[in-house]
Amino acid sequence: MEEELDAVEDVDAEVAVQDEADVADVVEVDDEADADDADADDEADFNEEDGGSERSAQADAMWNDVRIEPVELALPKGVGYTLRAYRLSNELTPTQVDEEEDDFAILDRRAADDDDERVVILENAELFEEEEEPAPAPAPAKRKGKKDDSDETAAADSDESDESPETDETDEAEAGAEEAEAEDDEDEDEAEEDEEEPEEVPAFLSHHGKLLLFRSVEGLVEFVKSDAEHDLTQIDTWESLKSRITVSAVVPTDENRYELDLVVENLRGGQDAWDTDLLLAAGEAARDLAYALRLEPVRTALAAGSPLDDLDEGLRAAASGGVGGFFAKRRLKKIGAQQAALGWRTIIGKISAAVDWRD
């Protein structure tokens, strides 16, 4: 009887151990499932922040082959997609900008309307009559000199008249040769100045000075595959992109995402809140757009030596660190945050006015 009880107790112990093992396995499986769910959530958050999807290796190869990149541009009116390429300046024809109405044309019209030949009747006209100038006094008669002096003067005049023709012709020939050489030298100098080396310049998906910005990737791809006219048709690889582009391939990289809508707000926050990456990227995009769309006010505002260019240089130097970065931070404190914000607000307004939004 005791042996039977011992056997039953051993069986119960084994069952208890097995139950504990099963529970441990279940807990471990649940933990792994929770970990997988957490990783999936993290990946989803990453993808959402990164534009919703990552670009495949095949898409990378396609964009590198055609040497064109998709660009995501955020402006106060929304976020849009476009394309940008870099080529040598001698390979591109600048965009044709529609002539804008001159704000001062009315002044020219008023001047043109004036008729110089119109008759004006003046009261008391005698007050405006010009007085006649007195007649000049007769010149005093020259006294006759001595005969010898007059003879010597006449002889000298005759000698000069005899020698002048040959001398004048020689002098004129030499002077003409020197002028011709000087003109040739000037022409050569001008030709050397005109023949500047080509440089790499940006070109966007634009038409007549307007940036074509699409609110959806599908709209961009549909436009690229169409036969619509735009400035990128002159790119040597355009036909290749036209046949190979897909919706899934249009994923801008971090370097090609520009948040211009945040620049003014960031600058108004003061030097301590300035986002270096945001401001430097905005400067890059604005300079490219100003060149490609021929926005001369924007190019002038960001030209070398301008206050906004000094801001960019100071941010770069401060980000590099070291002694130069220390002095750069001190220089940045002298740049007015409100002045910089006003300048950038004008720039963004000019760019926004040059955008043709598409669906």
Cα separation, 71 vs 260, whole angstroms: 13
Q: Decide: helix, strand or coil at residue 206.
A: strand
**What b/e readout covers 138-160, taking b as 16+ CB neighbours within 10 angstroms?**
eeeeeeeeeeeeeeeeeeeeeee
Half-sphere exposure of 174 (CA within 13 A, CB side): 6
pTM for the full model? 0.62
C-alpha span between 329 and 338 (Å, rounded):
17
| Beta carbons within 8 Å of 274's beta carbon, 6+ residues apart | 266, 267, 315, 332
Say what the pLDDT of residue 96 is: 81
DSSP string of 114-164, one letter each residue = --TT-----TTGGGGPPPPPPPPPPPPPPPP--HHHHHHHHHHHHHHHHHH
* Predicted pLDDT of residue 272: 84
Distance from first CA to last CA of the chain, Å, rounded?
89
pLDDT in tens, the chain (359 residues): 455 545 545 545 554 545 555 544 544 545 555 555 545 444 444 343 444 468 999 999 999 999 999 999 999 999 999 999 999 999 999 888 765 544 333 334 444 444 445 444 544 445 445 555 555 555 554 444 444 555 555 555 555 555 555 555 566 666 666 676 666 666 666 655 556 789 999 999 999 999 999 999 999 999 999 999 999 999 999 999 999 999 999 999 999 999 999 999 999 998 888 999 999 999 999 999 999 999 999 999 999 999 899 899 888 887 777 656 656 666 777 778 888 999 999 999 999 999 999 98
Structure tokens at 184: 């040739």
Total number of residues shown for the chain: 359
What pLDDT, on the 0 to 100 scale, is given for residue 316? 86
